[in-house]
């Protein structure tokens, strides 16, 4: 018989997973996230004004948007260039656990985004879904 995690169980697992601090980073290599990835699989952005963003543990909102799905979401994070510079293409973001080394998850943007001018921004609303397998 297959293992079954009820909705309430998935929600509790996500609450536990996102209890600790995380850091959200932008990546500049055109890499499709894969199961064998580590933090080293991603090249972090370096544009002027960029810094990884800390997401406080416990600040994630865990919901059950539909049967069989549990979702953890956080507030929108904005990364802003603080100077004109050589164009830098950003392909997506990755999230690390509090140890700063263990990859939690990553997402490739539907379309790459370019940072070049003072005031250019990239906005991300991090979310993670757990579904039935």
- Six token digits for residue 12: 């509790």
Whether 4 maps to a domain, the answer reads yes
Assigned domain for 29 exists:
no
If one counts the domains in the chain, the total is 1
Main-chain dihedrals φ then ψ at residue 13, nearest 5 degrees: -60, -45
Residue 46 lies in a domain: yes
- The confidence band for 133, taking pLDDT boundaries of 50, 70 and 90, is low
In a domain, residue 16? The reply is no
Question: In this model, does residue 97 exceed pLDDT 90?
Answer: yes
Owning domain of residue 94: 1-8+39-75+86-133
What percentage of the chain has pLDDT greater than the value 70?
A: 98
**106 found inside a domain:** yes
Q: Is residue 25 part of a domain?
A: no
List all residues 6 or more positions away from 55 whose beta carbon is below 8 Å from its beta carbon. Answer: 21, 22, 23, 24, 74, 77, 95, 126
Report the C-alpha gap between 79 and 92 in whole angstroms.
12
The SS3 call for residue 14 is helix
Q: What is the pLDDT of residue 7?
A: 84
Output the six-digit token pair for 37.
């990835």
Question: Does some domain include residue 28?
Answer: no
Which residue, 107, 128, 101, 124, is CA-closest to 27? 107
Residue 123 maps to a domain: yes
Question: 33-85 pLDDT, tens per residue?
Answer: 999 999 999 999 999 999 999 999 989 999 887 778 899 999 999 999 999 99
């Amino acid at each position: 018989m297959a293992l079954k995690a009820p909705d309430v169980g998935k929600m509790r697992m996500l609450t536990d997973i996102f209890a600790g601090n995380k850091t959200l980073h932008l990546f500049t290599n055109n890499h499709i996230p894969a199961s064998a990835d580590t933090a080293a699989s991603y090249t972090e952005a370096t544009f002027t004004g960029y810094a990884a963003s800390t997401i406080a543990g416990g600040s994630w909102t865990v919901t059950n948007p539909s049967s069989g799905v549990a979702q953890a979401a956080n507030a929108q994070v904005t990364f802003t260039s603080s100077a004109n510079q050589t164009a830098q293409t950003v392909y997506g973001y990755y999230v690390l656990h509090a140890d700063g080394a263990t990859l939690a998850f990553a997402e490739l943007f539907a379309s790459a985004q370019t940072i070049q001018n003072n005031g250019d921004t990239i906005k991300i609303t991090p979310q993670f879904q757990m579904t039935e397998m």
